[in-house]
Amino acid sequence: MLNDAALIKLLKQAYSAEKAAAFAYQGHAGSVRDKTEKESIRQIEIDEWNHREEVLKLMNIHQVPVSKWYEVKNYFIGKTISVSCYLIGWFMPFYFAGNLESGNVCEYVRMKRLFNAQGITEHDAILYEMSLKEKEHEVYFYEQIADSKMLPFFERLFSWGKNKRKNDIDLEKGFYIEDTNTYCEGFGEKGEKQPLKKLQDHSDITN
């Protein structure tokens, strides 16, 4: 039984948020015309369903109940985004998907750190794999819009793009399981960069 409120909340949120993401990608895949893009997005949807299954396994092991509120909330969020993909053009679904995935990377890194703080290391491999997969998703979505003239404007508004990310992982430099807990220390629950005081508070929680 876990006694870390932050970790319990994170598990509940992650489980339900993966459903919202999967629903969103259903609409995203359906809205694009390019066959290669459609297949890639559908594979990402499958990845999100797989992540949901893995998070549920962790919840069951540690007797963390599924949140009915998060489930209902994320159902409607996912379905709403899914429909909106047919209405907002090609760029925005790719942009906001990349923005979301950028924050999700730190979600699983932070989860691993919180488990480790309680002396639990048996979940390290799956949490590392999920954070790596989320990073791969982010890279994919970014590459689709990297040359768009709209990207600089959206980056200024939403703090994600060429120069701003919601995690500090660089796959080209390497991202290894033994170094996982050294990442995302300067980022909050959803990957937002935090000021010094909040960073100190975050450190108190995760150490």
Q: How far apart are CA 17 and CA 14, in angstroms?
A: 5
Q: Name 16's Cβ contacts closer than 8 Å, sequence gap at least 6.
A: 66, 67, 70, 71, 73, 74
Q: Name 116's Cβ contacts closer than 8 Å, sequence gap at least 6.
A: 124, 181
Query: Smallest Cα–Cα separation from 143: which of 86, 191, 199, 95?
Result: 95
Quick count: other Cβ atoms within 10 Å of Cβ 174?
A: 8
Residue 105 has pLDDT above 60, yes or no: yes
In the chain, the N- to C-terminal Cα span, in Å, equals 19
Residue 158 has pLDDT above 60, yes or no: yes
Residue 149 has pLDDT above 70, yes or no: yes
Query: Smallest Cα–Cα separation from 62: which of 9, 22, 101?
Result: 9
Tens of pLDDT, residue by residue over 35-45, are 999 999 999 99
| β-strand partners of 187 | 193
Q: How far apart are CA 109 and CA 44, in angstroms?
A: 19
Residue 203 has pLDDT above 90, yes or no: no
Give the per-residue pLDDT at 192: 54
Give the per-residue pLDDT at 206: 36
The dihedral over CA atoms of 195, 198, 200, 205, expressed in degrees to the nearest 10, equals -150
Give the per-residue pLDDT at 57: 98
| β-strand partners of 193 | 187
Q: What is the mean pLDDT of the chain?
A: 91
